[in-house]
């Protein structure tokens, strides 16, 4: 009888061990998180950075944080690190923070005679920042273009004699950096800012302020006061399609094959890359921007639980082990009852 009790106790202990193992596996799975889909981040004259799900056509807004710096010139998200980068308006500083606005750092300061970082792009693969610096006099003066590490270290800055940079983007796979100048020319360089070439010398509206690269289809998009334009990366086949009045701040989502922009002062729009499927994603009761300002970028949303491959494998093994132990326990229990009777 004592041996039977000991056996029952041992099997009970094994079952409890299996249950404990199950809890550890589940906790491990829940601690293994994956980033959700892309979210829209935007800010305007009030410097209140907000976030919304672009698939939510109702435009549910989530207040994220407010910036204490002067009005924004630009901001971008470093996807892998979950970091937000932005520059202040004429303050001459480049900042970095978490996506909720905590842990703000000043990572770069504009050189003398340059008022600030007017445009910004991030090479998500090489972990490198690209930026355009605005001269203090006027936008027809030579601008500066540069790059640095994502912590602001090892900056490399060169002059751009054709004018100030209005907008900049990067295509790591194609090995090119692209920018729009104050003279409304589109230029390119290699990733080290060598071999500068003028790709589009004329034909772009003087009110164009924004450029975005579509690396998948080999297109460059630009926006003026009323329309969205696109051109091949070699400068051929310039096309225009309807946008919205006061279009500003283009950003391309290559995975979804869509493009987003701000219609100042209160709306964010998107369309397919051929101009079809035009949709007002949201209208913000607070100003998204004014005639000179409005910034938008795409970045990760809240982390969501993800079941990894090892998690699925562990679940299978757990079910098999726990099931075997339970069956053994029931068999021994019933045998012990019969013997006791």
Question: How is the chain split into domains, by residue range?
Answer: 2-32+310-340, 39-304
Q: What mean pLDDT comes out for the span 75-80?
A: 87
Higher pLDDT, 50 or 57: 50
Mean pLDDT, range 136-160, rounded to an integer: 86
Q: What's the average model confidence in pLDDT over 2-9?
A: 47
**95 vs 300, higher pLDDT:** 95
What number is the average pLDDT over the span 138-152?
83
Per-residue pLDDT band for 307 (boundaries 50, 70, 90) equals: very low
How confident is the prediction for the chain on average, in pLDDT? 77
Residue 65: its pLDDT value, please? Answer: 75
Question: d(Cα 8, Cα 333) in Å, to the nearest integer?
Answer: 7
Look up residue 209 and give its two tokens.
Answer: 């302020």
More confident residue, 32 or 18: 18
For residues 14 and 33, the model is more confident at: 14
Q: How confident is the model at residue 198 (pLDDT cuts 50, 70, 90)?
A: very high
Angle between helices 2-31 and 309-340 (to 10 degrees): 160
Secondary structure element (H or E) that encloses residue 321, with its range: helix 309-340
Q: Name, in order, each residue with C-beta under 8 angstroms of 222's C-beta and a sequence gap of 6 or more.
A: 167, 180, 186, 204, 208, 210, 211, 212, 228, 229, 230, 231, 250
Residue (of 160, 162, 128) closest to 147 by Cα position: 128
Is the pLDDT at 338 greater than 50? The verdict is yes
Give residue-wise pLDDT tens across range 185-196: 999 999 999 999
pLDDT of amino acid 25: 42
pLDDT for residue 44 is more than 80:
no
pLDDT band at 341 (very low <50, low <70, confident <90, very high): low
pLDDT at 8 over 70: no
Closest CA to 12 of 315, 325, 324, 318: 325
Task: State the pLDDT at residue 57.
Answer: 55
Model confidence at 70, in pLDDT bands (50, 70, 90)?
low
Strand partners, 149: 128
Rounded mean pLDDT, 129-153: 85
Reported confidence tier of residue 306, pLDDT bands at 50, 70, 90: very low
CATH 3.90.45.10 fits 39-304, yes or no: no
Tokens of 94: 């480049």
**What's the rounded Cα separation, in Å, for the pair 1 and 126?**
70
**150 phi, psi to nearest 5 deg:** -70, -10
Q: Which token pair is 274?
A: 């051929």
Q: Of 6-15, 139-148, 326-335, where does mean pLDDT reach its minimum?
A: 6-15
For 10, phi then psi, to 5°, come to -65, -40
Q: How much is the pLDDT for 311?
A: 47
pLDDT at residue 166 above 60?
A: yes
Closest by Cα among 221, 265, 266 to 243:
221
pLDDT digits (tens, 9 = 90+) for 222-281: 987 778 999 999 999 999 887 787 777 899 998 899 999 888 767 888 999 998 999 888
With CA atoms as reference, report the closest residue to 168 among 110, 206, 123: 123
What does pTM read for this prediction?
0.76
């Amino acid at each position: 009888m004592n041996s039977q009790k000991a056996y029952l106790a041992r099997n009970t202990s094994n079952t409890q061990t299996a249950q404990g193992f199950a809890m550890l596996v589940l906790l491990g799975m829940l601690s293994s998180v994956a980033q959700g889909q892309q979210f829209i981040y935007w800010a305007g004259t009030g410097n209140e950075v907000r976030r919304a799900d672009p698939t939510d056509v109702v435009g549910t807004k989530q207040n994220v944080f407010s910036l204490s710096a002067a009005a924004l010139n630009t901001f971008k998200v470093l996807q892998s690190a979950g970091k937000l980068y932005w520059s202040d308006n004429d303050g001459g500083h480049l900042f970095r923070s978490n996506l909720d606005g905590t842990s703000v750092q000043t990572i770069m300061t504009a050189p003398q005679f340059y008022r600030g970082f007017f445009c910004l792009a991030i090479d998500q693969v090489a972990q490198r920042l690209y930026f355009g610096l605005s001269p203090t006099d006027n936008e027809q003066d030579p601008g500066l273009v540069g790059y640095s590490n994502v912590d602001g270290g090892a900056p490399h800055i060169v002059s751009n004699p054709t004018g100030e940079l209005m907008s900049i983007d990067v295509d790591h796979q194609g090995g090119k950096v692209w920018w729009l100048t104050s003279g409304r020319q589109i230029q390119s360089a290699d990733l080290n800012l060598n071999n500068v070439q003028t790709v589009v010398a004329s034909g772009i509206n003087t009110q164009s302020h924004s450029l975005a690269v579509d690396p998948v289809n080999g297109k460059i998009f630009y926006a003026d006061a009323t329309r969205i334009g696109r051109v091949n990366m070699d400068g051929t086949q310039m096309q225009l399609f309807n946008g919205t009045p006061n279009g500003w701040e283009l950003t391309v989502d290559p995975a979804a094959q869509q493009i987003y922009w701000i219609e100042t002062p209160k709306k964010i729009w998107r369309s397919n890359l051929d101009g079809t499927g035009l949709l007002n994603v949201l209208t913000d009761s607070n100003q998204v921007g004014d005639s000179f300002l409005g910034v938008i970028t795409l970045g990760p949303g809240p982390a969501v639980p993800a079941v990894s491959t090892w998690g699925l494998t562990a679940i299978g093994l757990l079910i098999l082990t726990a099931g075997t132990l339970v069956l053994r326990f029931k068999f021994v229990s019933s045998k012990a009852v019969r013997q006791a009777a």
